[in-house]
Structure 1
Amino acid sequence: MNDKKLQPGTPIDLFMILISKKMRYVFLFVLLFMWINSSYKKAAKKAVISSLFSLIINRLIKSVYFKPRPFMKRRIGILIPSKTDSSFPSKHTLLVFSISTSVFLYERFIGSIMWGLSMLTGFSRIWLGHHYPIDIIGSAFIGSFVSILTDKTFRFLKSKDLA
């Protein structure tokens, strides 16, 4: 199926593998720090909730829609093993954008850095041959939208004294 399967060679390949595999730990560390720090706990709570909703949306979309991953449809090499489920949406991208947008809505500086890391994560998924650019763009939109909707819902409930 693939001509040059699983052969990382260049430093950029290795960097993209590192980003794709390990960036989730950076996001978990930031969430843990925010959860422990009482002034950021509300933002961390919203980020976790929006991530859970994003995962549900991911499952729903993948249960009704299948789009072959780039390495399944074309003769391109992949740098690390991948599932053969639907290319859209990208779970990695959904989650990092969901978290970074939630953080951005609360703390612009940290959120901006996390948004940059989210874009790098999405790009790494394309570089590895696991997703198409439109998968990443759509997943970033969904993850961000879910976070904004979660934030708006919390604000609405708070204004009605329900939260």
Structure 2
Amino acid sequence: MDDKIFRALNQFTGKYRSVDIFMIMVSKKLRYVFAFLLVIMWLQDKFHKRITSLAGISAIITLLITSLIKLIYFKPRPFSRNRVNLLAPVPSNKDSTFPSKHTTIAFSVAISVLLYKRILGYILSVLAFLSGISRIWMGQHYPSDIIGSALIGSIVAISVKFTSGIWDPFITRVIHTYNRFISLR
């Protein structure tokens, strides 16, 4: 089933240049959109700084979990087993297809924001979904990799929210230090 869904989507890669360019741009540049939006949120009030901090914590934890999974579990990329339509940049054959780092981080940030700011969170969730689709379109991940990665990122974001009491002293300290630094200028 995974292979069938992959092929159904990947068969169009290389046939529609404008879609290919869009998918490459989403895959390579979307992280900058997320970072820009987080910076804009950080520059607002304390509430938005807290959301940004929780999103950052979620992203860091997600990155650590993703790295750990890749150390202990290897799943070959679609292009290493079969002939697929592939768009550059092509990751290494030695890098596991599961989980997708792009997708896990995008979902961890999107869901972190969604838990506090619905409209912006929905927009980021759609962008995170597009990020995952772009990875399939480009021939780098299977649909199950994207679904699993979205779940990992989402679960981490929800877990960070429910354990926010643990993170609050750290977040308060970071915000306080930032405010002191800005007031010294």
The answer to whether TM tops 0.5 is yes
CA distance in 2, matches of 1:146, 1:134: 18
In the other structure, the counterpart of 2:127 is: 117
Q: Larger Cα Rg: Structure 1 or Structure 2?
A: 2
In the other structure, the counterpart of 1:10 is: 17
Kept in 2: contact 1:47–1:98 (CA 8 A): yes
Percent identity of paired positions between Structure 1 and Structure 2: 48
CA distance in 1, matches of 2:148, 2:66: 11
In the other structure, the counterpart of 1:3 is: none
Within the alignment, does 1:77 sit opposite 2:85 as a pair? yes
SS of the residue corresponding to residue 119 of structure 1 reads: helix
Gaps of 5+ in 1: 1-6
Gaps of 5+ in 2: 1-13, 174-185
Shift, 1:34, TM fit: 1.0
Kept in 2: contact 1:8–1:79 (CA 8 A): no
CA distance in 1, matches of 2:61, 2:50: 17
Deviations 1:30-62 (A, max 9, x none): 111111112311000000000000001011100
* Equivalent of residue 76 in structure 2, options 64, 68, 71: 68
Kept in 2: contact 1:8–1:14 (CA 8 A): no
Shift, 1:9, TM fit: 5.8
TM-score of the pair, normalised by structure 2? 0.79
CA distance in 2, matches of 1:83, 1:91: 14
Aligned counterparts, 1:35-114, within 5 A: 35-38=42-45, 39-80=47-88, 81-84=90-93, 85-114=95-124
Within the alignment, does 1:21 sit opposite 2:21 as a pair? no
Amino acid at match of 2:43: I
Shift, 1:75, TM fit: 0.8
Amino acid at match of 1:154: S
Deviations 1:53-77 (A, max 9, x none): 0001011100000000001111113
CA distance in 2, matches of 1:126, 1:42: 33
CA distance in 2, matches of 1:32, 1:12: 29
SS of the residue corresponding to residue 163 of structure 2 reads: helix
CA distance in 2, matches of 1:145, 1:101: 9
SS of the residue corresponding to residue 66 of structure 1 reads: coil
Closer/same/farther in 2, CA of residues 10 and 156 from structure 1, 3 Å limit: same
CA distance in 1, matches of 2:166, 2:106: 25
CA distance in 1, matches of 2:124, 2:148: 18
SS of the residue corresponding to residue 68 of structure 1 reads: coil
CA distance in 1, matches of 2:51, 2:145: 27
In the other structure, the counterpart of 2:37 is: 30
SS of the residue corresponding to residue 37 of structure 1 reads: coil
Shift, 1:156, TM fit: 6.7
Count of aligned pairs: 155
CA distance in 2, matches of 1:108, 1:48: 18
